[in-house]
Structure 1
Amino acid sequence: MTASLREVALRSLAVAVPERVRTNAELAERHPELVRRPERGSLDRIMTNAESRPEMAKIDASILPYIDDPFRGVVERRSLSGDETSIGLEVAAGREAIARAGLAPADIDLLISVGFLPHHVGIGNAVYVARELGLRGAAWNLESACAGPLNALQNAFALVRAGEYARVLVTVSCAYTRFAREDDTLSWFLGDGAGAFVIASEGPGAEHLSSYSMHTADTCGSWYYQLELDDAGAPARVMRAHPDTGKLMRGTVEKHLRRCCEGALERAGLALGDIDFFVFHTPTAWFRDFACAALGVDPQRAANCYQHYANVGPALTPINLHYAAVTEKIAPGARVLVYGPGSVSSAAAMILRWGEVGLGPVPAKVSYS
């Protein structure tokens, strides 16, 4: 390291989720016909393999155990209700991360907010989070769908290492349930959540070894948002999937995974066998098993707490990493590879050498036992 660059560490990690839990029993009671005839829903059309090709073999095998489940492996999801917002979740996670780093809000020089989708149309969450936390420094928005947390962390590490800022707070949120209709089965594998990290130039923490990111233009058109009228007759943004989304995802997911993980390993001067633990973004119940099969990794060396949260978009990265840390699956000195894919945006991988990281508590109503 040259004299002009500073040491930098991930000092803390915290997560936050809404209080409301939506169960399969609740959905089955309200939508019995969709449970009896799942083939009529968009979730089934996306996740059922109608066309198998050799490059899809690993992911098809991972999906097979869930094919007769109308909920496709989801057990429960957490969803925003009442006056709860993604801004509030970012504030809660950010406040905890600052405290766990042994800092005060006035110590934070920069906030990078990854809000997907932000609470306000056309305006990201950053300044609202900064206001609620009482921050005095800069506040930026960075959005790259589900790869957003890793891209934000890469920027935070680089900025602190270069001396532009001494302490950066990264907050991440997902508000999927606000943009999906419950009578569309697509919403059944979606949830809401948030996380936050503090990156600083002093103190203990996890060391950044490498990063690798790529665009995912080959998934353009798979997911999109459109204006529709809600049940009250008001215009609302609604998430939709193209009929070919499932085929497109299965045809590109392994390519993105391999390129990013291999790229991060090469930049760190490491081999796959040098990695002690893997934290994959898990947008489906089977993604961990698929990723492990694709890379030839033992699933016991990879995190998966999907059953507690379902798909919470970019919040999966801090949530899965937090889960791995609080359950002591990773210990100080361990090399951890973190991977996050993002449709119509980016895919990214990062390698950390884990250290003494201040961890926020496990969310209420969640048991990892």
Structure 2
Amino acid sequence: MHSVGITALAVHLPEGLRTNSWWDNKPIPYYGMTPPPTLTNKKHYAYDKAMEPYITDPFLGSIERRVVYNHETSVSLGVKAAAKALQAANLSANEIDGLIAVSMYPDRLGFGDAALIAEKLGIGGGAFNIEASCNGAMSALLTACGLVKSGIKSKVLVVTTTLFSRIIDDDKALRFVSDLSTAFIIGTVENGFGLLGSDSLHLGQTSGNWSIDIIEDQSLPINQRMRLRPSRLYAQVIRTTAEQYLTHTVKGALCQAKLSIGEIDCVALSTTTAWHAEFSANVLGIDKTRVINTYPQIAYAGLSTVPFNLYTAASQQMIKPGEIILLYGYGGQTEASAAIFRWNNISLGPPPDDATIINQN
């Protein structure tokens, strides 16, 4: 069996940049989660302890977030990220024989972005979509690795796009999320490198805490868009389940890879909150400097967060060839996944373009 892994990685951020000044005249109390009354609750102590410094901050540690601007769409963002990945890998589109797209959520309801992105890029192979909520990038990553390892495909391009600003209507919630797109190519790598082990766990326990409504929007071609509607308890669900899903899947991935947590050099995970990196480091028992945290710069970017954090670590040379990296994602009502890679020489796309500040004040 071939060793498989990421051979190229790129990111594309939309043109708009919204800073905290957007909300200067709209102060709100702590949003999204009831502050813990005490830190003596041993069951959730690690989460509450990491969260404590942010409780009085109305932005919960977020400083900037990117948002779509000038008619940017899920497809246009995805195409730009994919083109950067192809250029970094020095590959033409016809050398890709499979494309997987994960979008949260696509502009075209019900059909996804895969075929449109493939057509615009000129890819000749198949293209399909995966829906795994905020774990979409990890689910697609492991699916692509399986396709290449089995010999069904030789090079698979994965494109992730997050458009939270178009599915969240609550102005308070928009303080904590970003729009962005990433792309990575999965192919064969040197033996002993690439994917070493993985594990996934379904999150049926979280069902019912997020729902989707369809609303009218005349600015889109089909005049409709999705709206994400969380329950009142969704943040408490994350708080009470985060540790068990993280430890379960990481333990399984380490076992499959025949490694210990002490051998992990870098962690790129879904930084749902500003304190998620520190919380995860404490739970795993590793130095928090090993866990990438881009929350202040982009807030939470849903399914695109893990590959964006990975790109950040690689571009800042926090990962060296031969080192071991842990990836972890959490997708409400779908699955959580952990994967361990030995870092190979990965081609990186260029840094994100500068943005236009679109604050209203």
Pairwise CA distance, 1:230: 6.7
Corresponding position of 2:205: 218
**Using the alignment, how far apart are the partners of 2:207 and 2:265 within structure 1?**
34
Q: What SS does the corresponding residue of 2:47 show, helix, strand or coil?
A: helix
**Within 2, Cα distance between the matches of 1:134 and 1:272?**
42
Question: Who is 1:24 aligned against?
Answer: 20
Number of the residue aligned with 1:197: 184
Q: Summarize the Cα distance change of 1:138–1:236 in structure 2 as closer, same or farther, 3 Å threshold.
A: closer
Paired AA for residue 60 in structure 1: D
Unaligned stretches of 5+ residues in structure 1: none
CA spacing shift, 1:230–1:89, aligned 2, 3 Å? closer
Q: Answer with 220-229 or 186-195: which moved more.
A: 220-229
Which of 254, 272, 288 is the aligned partner of 1:283?
Answer: 272
Task: Confirm or deny that 1:38 pairs with 2:34.
Answer: no
Structure 2 CA distance for partners of 1:138 and 1:228, relative to 1, 3 Å: closer
| TM-score in terms of structure 2 length | 0.92
Identical amino acids, percent of aligned pairs:
34
CA contact (8 A) 1:205 1:357 kept: no
> Is the 8 Å Cα contact of residues 83 and 121 (structure 2) preserved in structure 1?
yes
* Aligned with residue 77 of structure 1, among 65, 76, 79: 65
**Contact 2:3–2:191 (CA<8 Å) still a contact in 1?**
no
- Please say if residues 107 and 225 of structure 2, whose CA atoms lie closer than 8 Å, have aligned partners that are also in contact: no
- 1:269 matches 2:269: no
Q: How many angstroms apart in 2 are the aligned matches of 1:51 and 1:213?
A: 32
The question of 1:247 aligning with 2:243 is answered: no
- Aligned partners of 2:207 and 2:333 also within 8 Å: yes
What RMSD, in angstroms, separates the aligned Cα atoms of the two structures? 2.1
Deviations along 1:71-110, one digit per CA (max 9) or x if unpaired, are 1111010001231011111111111111211210000000
Distance 2:190 2:254 in 1: 26
Please tell me whether residue 323 in structure 1 is matched to residue 312 in structure 2: yes
Shift of 1:227: 3.6
Residue in structure 2 matching 1:292, options 281, 288, 303: 281
CA distance in 1, matches of 2:226, 2:137: 23
User: CA separation in 1, counterparts of 2:173 and 2:37?
Assistant: 17
User: Which stretch shows the higher mean deviation, 320-329 or 77-86?
Assistant: 77-86
State the distance in 2 between where 1:314 and 1:38 align.
27
Matched pairs, number: 351
- 1:83 and 1:55 map into 2 onto residues whose CA distance is 46
> Which amino acid is 2:21 matched to?
A
5 Å-filtered alignment, 1:99-248, equals 99-181=87-169, 183-201=170-188, 207-228=194-215, 236-248=225-237
One-letter amino acid of the structure 1 residue matched with residue 35 of structure 2: T
2: CA distance between counterparts of 1:112 and 1:329?
28
Which of 321, 332, 343 is 2:321 aligned to? 332
CA separation of 1:199/1:231 partners in 2, compared to 1, >3 Å: closer, same or farther? closer
**SS of alignment partner, residue 50 of structure 2:** helix
Aligned partners of 1:55, 1:145: CA distance in 2, in Å? 27
2:227 partner letter: V
Instruction: State whether residues 189 and 344 of structure 2, in contact with CA within 8 Å, keep that contact through their aligned partners in structure 1.
Output: no
Pair 270,235 (structure 1): closer, same or farther in 2 beyond 3 Å: same
**Structure 2 unaligned spans of 5+:** 356-361
Q: Describe how 1:81-92 pairs up with structure 2 within 5 A.
A: 81-92=69-80
Q: State how far apart, in whole Å, the 1-side matches of 2:218 and 2:65 are.
A: 22
Q: Match of 2:312, SS?
A: helix
C-alpha distance in 1, partners of 2:190/2:237? 44
* Cα deviation 1:4-54 (Å, max 9, x = unaligned): x233332100001101001110122xxx2x41x425xxxx14363468743
Structure 1 Cα separation of the partners of residues 89 and 191 of structure 2: 9
Q: Which amino acid aligns with 1:279?
A: A
Which letter does structure 2 place at the counterpart of 1:351?
I
Secondary structure in 2 matching 1:146: helix
**Secondary structure of the structure 1 residue equivalent to 2:9:** strand
| Contact 1:49–1:246 (8 Å) recurs in 2 | no
Aligned amino acid, residue 125 of structure 2: G
- Determine helix, strand or coil for the equivalent of 2:3: coil
> CA 1:336–1:143 in 2, change beyond 3 Å: closer, same or farther?
same
Who is 2:332 aligned against? 343
For residues 166-216 of structure 1, what are the alpha-carbon distances to aligned partners after superposition, in whole Å with 9 as ceiling and x for unaligned?
A: 1110111101110112x5311210110111111123679951111111111
Matching of residue 48 in structure 1 with residue 39 in structure 2: no
